[in-house]
Amino acid sequence: MQNRLKDQSDNLPNTKKNGPSFSGLSGNELYCAALVGYQPGNLLVGNSVFALGFLGGVKTSIRTFVGGELAQITNMIAEGRRLGLERFESELEQSNASAATGVTSDLIFHPGNVEFLSVGSAIHANGDYNLGKFTSSSDGQELFCQIDANYFPIDFVFGNVAYSIGAARGVVGTIKEFTKGEVPQFSNIFNKTRNLALERIIAEAKKKNANSVIGIRTTILPIGINGVQEMVMIGTASKNEQIQQVADSVGGVITSDLTAEETWNVTKMGYVPIKLVLGTSVYSLGFVGGIQAAFRNFVKGEVKVLSNLIYGAREQSLKKVQEQAAEIGADDVLGIKTYIYNLGGGVIEFLAIGTAVKKVSGISTRSDQLPPQAIIRDKDTFVNVADLSYGSNLQKPAR
């Protein structure tokens, strides 16, 4: 590895005649980027600011939805994100860099406004190692892992959905007023809504002629209106010739929320990520259960009503994930994460998410092992506890 780094470093083009670059790459990222033939360029920023009033025109329609998509808000947010990314890509073109790594798409709420912010670091390719111009959500360390596992980056992509939970708080309570347990009609709505973000990131990857979206990060955040949230998935549309047959079996694009290091490890073991799978269940404590739980708040000991409710919601969500994985012929589901959301009125949503994988022949990594620099996590060297600022850390935007 050291010889490979030295050889590539000796052949790097001289792109610093006009002064030093100002990069968001850390020392570990710099090392890993050099291993795959890149040196740092400047930090790049693209943004678009919308007045929060753009949401006002759709407030009246929110109450008609119960966990379903608010398409008008989805489209407005997607437009803001795209404008920020377009301006980022314009800066990339002007920089004469080969690619950009660590690209983000964040929402920053300023007083009365929301900023759609994209930040990343330009990188310059060695003359004899050039994958073409690309943008990637992977940082410098992840980029090495991704390329060494033969997932060659094409473009940063995202998929989002804005939805309402406000109406669910009232309506679910009415329907399930005297009972407790799962509310199937709302579980179905939430499952459909949550999967829209995944469907859209897959559609974006297909436009880029990619056969995979790896390193997907899923974020759920409030959008300036009570009860309205956005679920956004970001990742890197990539091409891996070794997995084409597997990709074809699931519609042309595999999806994964495994980290870049995990992707390298499973590739080394002969596994291919097939699909990001998620299952959600909406449960109501019910009127009777609510009274029982209230009485239990005054005494010590287990609140069995809540224990059984949450256990049932967890089991149902995991069952949905298992069923999805079985449908596509997966061997395992890795990295399962579970989350509980309080929808109010004794109603909860339980979400399970992970990546289905399958062992196949002919899968390999380019290197025998990862260098330590690819797995060392950077430490924060600036800590702000004043809580007087708003905005974004341009060097290391939140993951």
Q: What DSSP line would sit under 308-376, residue for residue?
A: HHHHHHHHHHHHHHHHHHHHTT-SEEEEEEEEEEEEETTEEEEEEEEEEEEE-SS---SSSS--GGGTP
| pLDDT above 90: residue 135 | yes
Tell me if residue 297 falls in helix, strand or coil: coil
DSSP state of 377: P
Q: Give dist(CA 220, CA 223) in Å, integer.
A: 10
Q: What is the pLDDT of residue 12?
A: 40
> How would residue 335 be classed by pLDDT, with cut points 50, 70 and 90?
very high
Integer angstrom CA distances of residue 352 from 208, 279, 281, 340: 29, 5, 9, 9
**Which whole number is the average pLDDT over 298-302?**
63
Q: Give dist(CA 338, CA 164) in Å, integer.
A: 21
Helix axis angle for 140-148 and 260-268, nearest 10°, is: 20
Q: What is the pLDDT of residue 210?
A: 98
- Residue scoring higher pLDDT (399 or 36): 36
> CB-based contacts of 151: which residues, under 8 Å, 6+ apart?
212, 214, 236, 238, 239, 240, 263
> How would residue 377 be classed by pLDDT, with cut points 50, 70 and 90?
confident
Q: Give dist(CA 33, CA 343) in Å, integer.
A: 44
- Residue scoring higher pLDDT (165 or 74): 74
Q: Report, in angstroms and rounded to the nearest whole number, the Rg of the chain calculated over CA atoms.
A: 23
Are β-strands 212-222 and 254-255 bridged in parallel, bridged antiparallel, or unpaired? parallel
> CB-based contacts of 6: which residues, under 8 Å, 6+ apart?
none
| pLDDT above 90: residue 225 | no
| pLDDT above 90: residue 297 | no
- Residue scoring higher pLDDT (16 or 340): 340
> How would residue 312 be classed by pLDDT, with cut points 50, 70 and 90?
confident
Q: Tell me the one-letter amino acid at 185.
A: Q
The residue among 159, 166, 172 whose CA lies nearest residue 225 is 166
The percentage of the chain sitting over the pLDDT mark of 70, rounded to a whole number, equals: 78
Three-state secondary structure readout of 234-263: EEEEEECHHHHHHHHHCCCCEECCCCHHHH
Q: What is the pLDDT of residue 187?
A: 85
Q: Give dist(CA 146, CA 152) in Å, integer.
A: 7
| pLDDT above 50: residue 77 | yes
**Helices marked H in the chain:** 2-10, 27-35, 59-62, 71-94, 140-148, 166-175, 184-207, 244-249, 260-268, 286-296, 304-327
pLDDT in tens, 104-128: 999 998 888 899 999 999 999 986 6
- Residue scoring higher pLDDT (164 or 46): 46
Q: Give dist(CA 217, CA 145) in Å, integer.
A: 16
Q: What is the pLDDT of residue 129?
A: 64
Q: What is the pLDDT of residue 293?
A: 54
- Residue scoring higher pLDDT (292 or 23): 23
The percentage of the chain sitting over the pLDDT mark of 90, rounded to a whole number, equals: 58
In degrees rounded to 5, what are phi and psi of residue 98?
Answer: -80, -30
Kindly report the pTM of this predicted structure.
0.86
Mean of per-residue pLDDT scores for the chain: 84
Q: Are 338 and 277 in contact (CB under 8 A)?
A: no
**Which whole number is the average pLDDT over 329-335?**
96
> How would residue 180 be classed by pLDDT, with cut points 50, 70 and 90?
low
What residues are paired with 121 via a beta bridge? 43, 101
Q: What is the pLDDT of residue 45?
A: 97
Cα(first)–Cα(last) distance of the chain, in Å? 28
Q: What is the pLDDT of residue 378?
A: 86
Integer angstrom CA distances of residue 198 from 17, 79, 159, 235: 44, 18, 6, 11
- Residue scoring higher pLDDT (295 or 72): 72
Q: Provide the b/e sequence for 67-84 (b: ≥16 CB within 10 Å).
A: bbbbeebbebbbebbebb
Q: In what order do the strands lie in the sheet with 271-284?
A: 181-182, 271-284, 347-359, 332-344
Q: Are 158 and 83 in contact (CB under 8 A)?
A: no
> How would residue 299 be classed by pLDDT, with cut points 50, 70 and 90?
low
Q: Give dist(CA 60, CA 194) in Å, integer.
A: 23
- Residue scoring higher pLDDT (393 or 216): 216
- Residue scoring higher pLDDT (162 or 5): 162
> Which of 171-175, 213-217, 349-353, 373-377 tops mean pLDDT?
213-217
| pLDDT above 60: residue 53 | yes
pLDDT in tens, 316-331: 999 999 999 999 999 9
Q: What is the pLDDT of residue 337?
A: 93
- Residue scoring higher pLDDT (396 or 137): 137
